[in-house]
């Protein structure tokens, strides 16, 4: 079982490496990103304008917003390039028995 507060998101097997995928978790839009090393969960709304980060490109540990090109660090949510200046919330992830869980409770960033 995952730790307290974690919510089931999807089966691990549905994730494709470097292809972000959007889910609603407890009413929060979350993008799951499987990189070479691990699964990250990042709020699926760019901090610059309200567009979906899951439509952006993944490179290494970053996702690039498709609209104006700011890249966000998937580990911290911090923007690495302008024009975004504010971080995007990131959420802890657990993988148990082939299922992915994320901790979004109280961390919605709304």
Distance CA 12, CA 8 (A): 11
Q: Pick from 3, 49, 76, 85: which binds ligand FES (CB under 6 A)?
A: 49
Q: Pick from 11, 80, 83, 95: which binds ligand FES (CB under 6 A)?
A: 83
Of the two residues 38 and 49, which places its CB atom closer to ligand FES in the complex? 49
Q: Which residues of 62-88 are buried (b: 16+ CB within 10 A; e: fewer)?
A: bbbbebeebbbbbeebbbeeeebeebb
Residue 39 CA, chain-centre distance (Å), reads 9
Asked if residues 53 and 63 have their Cβ atoms less than 8 Å apart, the reply is: yes
Asked if residues 108 and 20 have their Cβ atoms less than 8 Å apart, the reply is: no
Residue 48 makes contact with ligand FES by CB under 6 A: yes
Minimal distance, residue 46 CB to ligand FES, in Å: 3
Minimal distance, residue 81 CB to ligand FES, in Å: 8
Q: Pick from 25, 30, 65, 90: which binds ligand FES (CB under 6 A)?
A: 65
Q: Which residues bind ligand FES (CB under 6 A)?
A: 46, 48-49, 51, 65, 67-68, 70, 83-84
């Amino acid at each position: 079982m995952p730790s307290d507060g974690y919510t089931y998101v999807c089966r691990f097997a549905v994730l494709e490496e470097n292809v972000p995928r959007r889910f609603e978790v407890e009413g929060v839009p979350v993008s799951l990103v499987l990189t070479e090393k691990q699964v990250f969960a990042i709020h699926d709304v760019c901090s610059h304008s309200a567009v979906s980060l899951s439509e952006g490109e993944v490179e290494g540990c970053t996702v690039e917003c498709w609209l104006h090109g700011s890249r966000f660090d998937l580990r911290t949510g911090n923007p690495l390039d302008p024009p975004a200046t504010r971080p995007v919330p990131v959420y802890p992830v657990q993988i148990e028995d082939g299922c992915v869980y994320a901790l979004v409770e109280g961390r919605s960033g709304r």
